[in-house]
Amino acid sequence: MAKLWRPFNNNSQHGDVIAHLTTTTANMAASMAKLWRPVYAMRGLVLFRPPGGHRSKRSWTGFAAGGLFGAWTARNWWEERGKHLAQEADTEVHSELHLTLYQYKTCPFCSKVRAFLDYHNLPYKVVEVNPLMRKEIRFSTYRKVPIVLTEGTARLQLNDSAFISSVLKSYMISAEKDLEKITSYYPEIESTDARGKAMMTRSNKYHVMRAEGPLPPDDVIKTEVEWRKWVDNHLVHLISPNVYRTPKEALASFDYIVREGKFGRWEGLAAKYVGAAAMYLISKRLKKRHNMRDDVRQDLYSAANEWLVAVGKKRPFLGGDDPNLADLEVFGVFRVMEGLQAFDDVLTRTKLGPWYHRMHAAIEAGVGVHWEGFERT
């Protein structure tokens, strides 16, 4: 039976042919340079030998220093080479997964999944779904997004953002690489939503499964799970009342949605004006349903501050030196507001900015690149 585990702390874009060839050539040159490093390291063993084979005390000191320097250089080279080979093996494993993400670009749940895939350098194809017709997901009885289809090791349909991230993370750390077996650890169960409506969900969806190896401390696992639940049960519900807070903000939000989404010309015009008016009114109902204050911005500021307290001042991320799944999911939700007044206000009125920009840089760099320069206080 798999054990519950917090993941080890860890944009898949294709460049043009010229950029690819240039990068490949540069990598080959760097590899050749590294291959010569042990040769120069070994030269340290003979650099201080005097003519005729006689060694003075001074030369023996130089001989020893050269040997130590050579051994140290060779050791560093082999460590770097080992890391490089490990990354190559990791990429090989990931290449077995062929992923297709069906999404609305401006959906916070879809943004959560993209943050996970991008940070873990998992290549994936994006299919933007028309929010009105949704013909792109006609194949599915599940009519929401995100949906991830997997091919390669197994053909599966994964629904629900938390479930998607947990399953894929479990697969990445699994020795067996059996995706179907991993999904069996997340059985479907009947539940109810916030309005009491029956729905199907996945048991254990906030947990990562690990069948072998030591587990992290219980408090580490518990903290990540609790904050992942907080994202879905609290943070995402603050988005709509804030981005549709006033008619002007609602119109700006739908201008962004239409610009980034998949709409026909007339669909876009209708969505922009009719949708903005409708969501402005709906946001008022959502404010009441989720017991938000009259000034909904205060709830958003409070959530940002609550998250920052959890992260603390002595580490760059909740996951420590590297983001964990909670970091990625909080980032994914806040990211959908970028360019809108609500996002600007959060950065102005709270201290979320430094963490957010660290997350942005970490996702751009990818897994295995540790954050440097963080000043612990």
User: Are 167 and 158 a contacting pair, CB within 8 Å?
Assistant: yes
Question: Could you say which DSSP state residue 273 is in?
Answer: I
User: Are 7 and 326 a contacting pair, CB within 8 Å?
Assistant: no
Residues identified as active-site: 104, 107, 109-110
C-alpha span between 77 and 363 (Å, rounded) = 27
C-alpha span between 208 and 325 (Å, rounded) = 10
Pick the closest to residue 240 from 162, 342, 332, 329 (CA basis): 342
C-alpha span between 186 and 101 (Å, rounded) = 20
Strand, coil or helix: 100:
strand
User: Are 362 and 119 a contacting pair, CB within 8 Å?
Assistant: yes
Buried b (16+ CB within 10 A) or exposed e, 115-152: bbbbbbbbebeeebbebeeeebbeeeeeebbbbbbbee
Class of residue 3 by CB neighbours under 10 A (exposed 0-12, middle 13-18, buried 19+): middle
User: Are 26 and 52 a contacting pair, CB within 8 Å?
Assistant: no
State the DSSP H helix or E strand holding residue 278, giving kind and residue range, or none if neither.
helix 276-289
Q: Which residue in the block uniquely carries the two structure tokens 């401390």?
A: 217
Type of residue numbered 218: D
Strand, coil or helix: 11:
coil
User: Are 172 and 9 a contacting pair, CB within 8 Å?
Assistant: no
User: What would the two tokens of residue 161 be?
Assistant: 């953002």
Residues 6+ apart with CB under 8 A from 98: 150, 151, 152
